[in-house]
Structures are given as structure tokens and as C-alpha cells.
């Protein structure tokens, strides 16, 4: 009788240990899953980034603009972008920002013009479940030129107010906390405008900037 009772107590202790081990294993699995969610991005996530960007035009001209040696200055401005993850590894990003650029020539300063280039990119994210996530993107840029203050010899220079062009992108996100990450990004954007003076064509100005950015982002 005593031997049977002792065996029952041993069996109950073993069962209790097994249940405890199972609970610990479940907690560990839950912790791993939580870590994966913290360090990665997934379908349905929204990423919001705020960057400081340096816009460096790669200027090309023709006709009279080439003869005048027309150039466009660099600019440093803020940029906001929104990314929606349609797959764990695939996102769509909308980039928003505006800048003002001064145009120079062999005749002196030609004045300034504002540039608003909203850009839509399809992105592929490598290592989407990790903390360090490189990505590449390609898409379409629409550029609006506004607040035109260009002139030469006291006469206003007219320009076409918009253009379409391709855009390429590469960058990396580094997760810092569950929601916060830092970002580095580089883009090449193709944009242009045609200029006229007194009804006479001056030529095409291709701005085609390289845009380098550093910033922070939030995952929602």
C-alpha cells in the first residue's frame, strides 16, 4: 500500500514537471514570436519616415541654355514618406517634399523656382524579418514647378510647369525599438522643364538630381 502511494506521488511530480516544462517552452516560443514581430516588418504595416535630404542636381542643358552655362544649386530640405507593406517583403512608398532652387548662368543669377516632386515607388525589402533591412525601389516621379521667379535681362523666363520621369531608390532601415527605426536612403530622380524668353525657346533643362537622406521612422 505504501509502495503504491509512493509511486503515485512520483508520477504526480513527474507530470507536474512535464507541465511546467511545456509552459516554459510555450512562453519561450511566444517570446521568440514577439521578438520577430519587434524586429521585422509584415504585410499590412505602415512605415512613416521623416528625413533630412540633400538634393544634388545633375544638370544637362541644350540650345541657348548650354551656351549660357546654366546651373542649378543644391538644396537641403525635410522629406516625408509613407510606405504600405502589401507583402512581408513588398511595399509601396509615396515620397513628399518640396524645395526651392536658384539658377545661375554666365550672365549671373537667373532667379529661383520651387520644385514639388511627389514620387511613387514599388520597394523590395530584403531580410524583412530582421532588424537591419536593406531595400531597393523603382517607380514614377511627377514634378511640379511653381513660384517661378526666373528672369534674364529684366524679362521673365517662362518654363513648362510639370514633367514625368522614372525614379530609382536604395536604402536601409535599422530597427531601434519595437516601433522606431533609423533610415538612410539614396534616390535618383529624372525631371526636366523647357524654357522660353519672349516667346523664343531657350532649350531644355534636365535637373535629374541625386537625393541623399538620413532620418527616423515609425512602424504602425
What is the pLDDT at residue 154? 87
Q: What is the mean pLDDT of the chain?
A: 88
Q: What is the arithmetic mean of pLDDT over 29-55? A: 78
pTM over 0.85: no
Q: How far apart are alpha carbons 76 and 201 in whole angstroms?
A: 31
CA-closest candidate to residue 143, choices 89, 198, 202, 192: 192
Query: Which CATH number applies to 42-219: 3.30.428.10, 1.10.1060.10, 3.30.420.40, 2.40.160.20?
Result: 2.40.160.20
Which class for 110: exposed (0-12), middle (13-18), buried (19 or more C-beta within 10 A)?
A: buried
* Confidence class for position 16, pLDDT limits 50, 70, 90: low
Please state, for a pLDDT cut of 70, what percent of the chain lies above it: 82
| Whether 40 contacts 130, CB under 8 Å | yes
pLDDT in tens, 120-143: 999 999 999 999 999 999 999 999
| Whether 46 contacts 218, CB under 8 Å | no
Q: How far apart are alpha carbons 81 and 79 in whole angstroms?
A: 7
Expressed in percent and rounded to 5, the helix, strand and coil fractions of the chain are 20, 55, 25
Predicted confidence (pLDDT) at residue 18 exceeds the cutoff of 90:
no
Q: What is the arithmetic mean of pLDDT over 199-214? A: 96
Q: How far apart are alpha carbons 162 and 183 in whole angstroms?
A: 29
| Length of the chain, in residues | 220
Amino acid at each position: 500500500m505504501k509502495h503504491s502511494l509512493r509511486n503515485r506521488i512520483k508520477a504526480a511530480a513527474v507530470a507536474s514537471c512535464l507541465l511546467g516544462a511545456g509552459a516554459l517552452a510555450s512562453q519561450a516560443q511566444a517570446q521568440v514570436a514577439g521578438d520577430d514581430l519587434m524586429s521585422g516588418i509584415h504585410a499590412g504595416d505602415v512605415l512613416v519616415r521623416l528625413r533630412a535630404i540633400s538634393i544634388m542636381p545633375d544638370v544637362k542643358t541644350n540650345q541657348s541654355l548650354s551656351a549660357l552655362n546654366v546651373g542649378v544649386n543644391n538644396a537641403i530640405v525635410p522629406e516625408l514618406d509613407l510606405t504600405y507593406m502589401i507583402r512581408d517583403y513588398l511595399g509601396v512608398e509615396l515620397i513628399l517634399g518640396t524645395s526651392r532652387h536658384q539658377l545661375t548662368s554666365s550672365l549671373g543669377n537667373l532667379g529661383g523656382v520651387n520644385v514639388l516632386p511627389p514620387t511613387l515607388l514599388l520597394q523590395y525589402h530584403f531580410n524583412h524579418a530582421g532588424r537591419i533591412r536593406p531595400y531597393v525601389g523603382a517607380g514614377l516621379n511627377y514634378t511640379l514647378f511653381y513660384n517661378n521667379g526666373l528672369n534674364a535681362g529684366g524679362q521673365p523666363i517662362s518654363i513648362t510647369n510639370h514633367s514625368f520621369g522614372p525614379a530609382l531608390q536604395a536604402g536601409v532601415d535599422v530597427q531601434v525599438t519595437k516601433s522606431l527605426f533609423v533610415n538612410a536612403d539614396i534616390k535618383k530622380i529624372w525631371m526636366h522643364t523647357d524654357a522660353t524668353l519672349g516667346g523664343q525657346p531657350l532649350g531644355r533643362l534636365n535637373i535629374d538630381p541625386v537625393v541623399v537622406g538620413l532620418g527616423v521612422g515609425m512602424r504602425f
